[in-house]
Amino acid sequence: MPLSQISWLVTVVASVIAAVVLLINGYVGYFGLFLAVAAAAAVNLFTDFP
């Protein structure tokens, strides 16, 4: 796995963890926002980098 994909994976994991923490604290809107960021970053995991 190239370093670029590892960095995107770290971004996805960090965003999901932040989203769960926000949901636990009652910030439902920000939860959705961080899930959207995680989904956008996850798209880069499925692309082929040259």
- What pLDDT band is residue 47 in, cutting at 50, 70 and 90? confident
What is the reported pLDDT for 49?
A: 62
What pLDDT band is residue 4 in, cutting at 50, 70 and 90? confident
Separation of alpha carbons 8 and 26, rounded Å: 27
pLDDT digits (tens, 9 = 90+) for 7-38: 999 999 999 999 999 999 999 999 999 999 99
What does the DSSP assignment read for 7-50?
A: HHHHHHHHHHHHHHHHHHTT-HHHHHHHHHHHHHHHHGGGSPP-
The structure's pTM equals 0.86
